[in-house]
A and B are shown apart, each in its own frame.
Chain A
């Protein structure tokens, strides 16, 4: 099976423990990081939008903004892939609750914010991006599948691509079936060519079969990884912070993906 090779030009991160990629780097070096505030700043959104935006949008826009700033790229020029296992769970909980009792009272704003591509929509509007945007999911394999989709897009069209993967914490009865205890978001800018900001070279190999124990060897605490479907990205982000290494991800329910990270001279 052919390998895909892409370069990582920027990384963004937000979790209850880590405010950005630098905080992960620090944590891996044994530094005690102070936890970030609960609400991601998402400063790329206009102030009015920032006040009104749902949590899913703030989280995704925050990490996307971090990664793009690190890459030195223009956000308006980047095609983007937004992955999320469950979308905005507080909004889903709200909608199902209202529909069960007083459906005619459903809020139009919450409805249009409920679409899976709401973060992609807000991002493209805030950055004036007319490039293609995508919103994808693959249950617990959403990060790996999103990485495969973004790498394919970067190589097929020979241009840098923004990948965002984020999930809000569960809300209400829904929590029982989504197993998402905490918010988590991360983002990568992937490029077909190395550049001035390149953090490393990613070589992706698809390997048939399930690899449920993939994250066992990571330097990142296992409970951080288990706290969100999107946090399966942490072992790869840890490699990026450390410089090189390999890890495995699920790219689909029955398809593993070997990820080699190599340093670029």
Chain B
């Protein structure tokens, strides 16, 4: 039923995570197999685990005119937006198309709930928010996109997707639809999630947090390491940036199984994968690299490994990069899309850091250490609570030119 879509140009992209600020920091860390994880020094109460924390967020206040949006999440967003010349690329797109013709579509899981947590820790004697926290827009899940719309002076469609850990993958799908229907000429997509008490103690309550650095697809894996990240991409029609890498397709599907456990046969994940391949007009054998969701939780990795083993030939390479960055939740989709795009740009298949003794469900597709080889087509998997699945397909410009 699905027809292939016209590819879009990814004319600019960037990420900031525990690996550092910008694309080069990510490439270098992956090339040298250096993790960004460290013992948890974030939570107020001691919670023994490892986190992927971005250095220097505390020392990077927002520009004064934007101070009403102050909070860790928007700080990280602004820090990320100022890498790799991305801000200039957004300004150029706004000049080229007009402020109302650029969509702003952001994925996040918890947005700036860290600020709401802080307000609750510092309630006034009468039980109300302290004066400096009486800033309603930062206590709403739309805080991130609202902040960026004001900071970037964009006036087109502006939407927050909040489907837990698939959020910032699904924004690519919304963007493609809006561009195809002629609502806009370009879309700024991305996502940001920051460390906060809600997710650290929430995942801890679900017994999904590992005490040690996460070990995706390892036989001895014991849960996730939570990280934070900001990532962005600018999507335009191919004619506007013929040499840029391409978004070839995307797939979205629902497990219809359980709120916090994946479908045992990976049904939703497979539907999203098939959907992405159909929209991209690709056969599985044409896929060179897959950045897996690979959270290092027991169930996710088992189900995803089985899906890769049954759907792809051994020539397709696959790995999780959660061992580098931790699971950045609502920002995982865009962060791993950036890693997939880097693999295309540099011919670098990232090794599955932290996996030393492979789970028996893992097939020959797994890249346990870095591999230098041409990557024409890369996929990125993202799965979220509520059984929400997304898969993105990217490619080199030459392939579809």
Q: Which chain A residues have a beta carbon within 8 Å of chain B's beta carbons? A: 1-2, 4, 76, 85-87, 92, 95-97, 99-100, 103-104, 106-108, 111-118, 120-122, 124-125, 127-139, 141-142, 145, 148-149, 152-153, 155-157, 173-174, 176-179, 206, 208-209, 251-255
Question: Are A252 and B255 within 8 A (Cβ)?
Answer: no
What residues on B are CB-neighbors of A124 within 8 Å?
254-256, 386-387
Question: Are A121 and B259 within 8 A (Cβ)?
Answer: yes
Q: Which chain B residues have a beta carbon within 8 Å of chain A's beta carbons? A: 2, 43-45, 47, 100, 104, 109, 113, 116-117, 119-121, 123, 127-129, 134-137, 139-142, 145-146, 149-150, 155-164, 170, 173-174, 176-178, 180-183, 197-198, 201-207, 252-260, 267-268, 271, 384-388
Beyond A85-B142, A152-B183, A173-B119, whether A134 also contacts B161 by CB under 8 A is yes
- The total number of A-B Cβ pairs within 8 Å is 234
Shortest CB-to-CB span from A115 to chain B, Å, is 5
* 14 additional contacts (CB under 8 A) given A125-B256, A139-B140: A86-B140, A96-B198, A104-B201, A106-B202, A111-B205, A122-B259, A134-B252, A137-B160, A173-B129, A176-B134, A177-B140, A208-B155, A251-B157, A252-B155
Question: Are B259 and A176 within 8 A (Cβ)?
Answer: no
What residues on A are CB-neighbors of B257 within 8 Å?
125
Question: Are A178 and B256 within 8 A (Cβ)?
Answer: no
Which 3 residue pairs spanning A and B have beta carbons closest together?
A: A121-B386, A132-B252, A116-B162
Question: Are A130 and B155 within 8 A (Cβ)?
Answer: no
Interface majority SS (helix, strand, loop, mixed), chain B: mixed
What residues on B are CB-neighbors of A148 within 8 Å?
157, 159, 183
Question: Are A128 and B256 within 8 A (Cβ)?
Answer: yes
What residues on B are CB-neighbors of A155 within 8 Å?
181
Cβ-neighbour of A112 out of B160, B162, B259, B388 (below 8 A):
B259
- The distance in angstroms between the C-alpha atoms of A135 and B163, with both chains bound, is 6
What residues on A are CB-neighbors of B45 within 8 Å?
103-104
Question: Are A145 and B157 within 8 A (Cβ)?
Answer: yes
Beyond A133-B254, A253-B158, A255-B157, whether A208 also contacts B100 by CB under 8 A is yes
A-B contacts, 24 of them at CB < 8 A, read: A85-B142, A96-B116, A96-B117, A99-B117, A108-B207, A112-B202, A115-B164, A115-B385, A117-B163, A117-B164, A122-B259, A124-B387, A131-B253, A134-B163, A134-B170, A152-B178, A156-B181, A173-B120, A173-B128, A176-B128, A177-B136, A254-B158, A255-B155, A255-B157
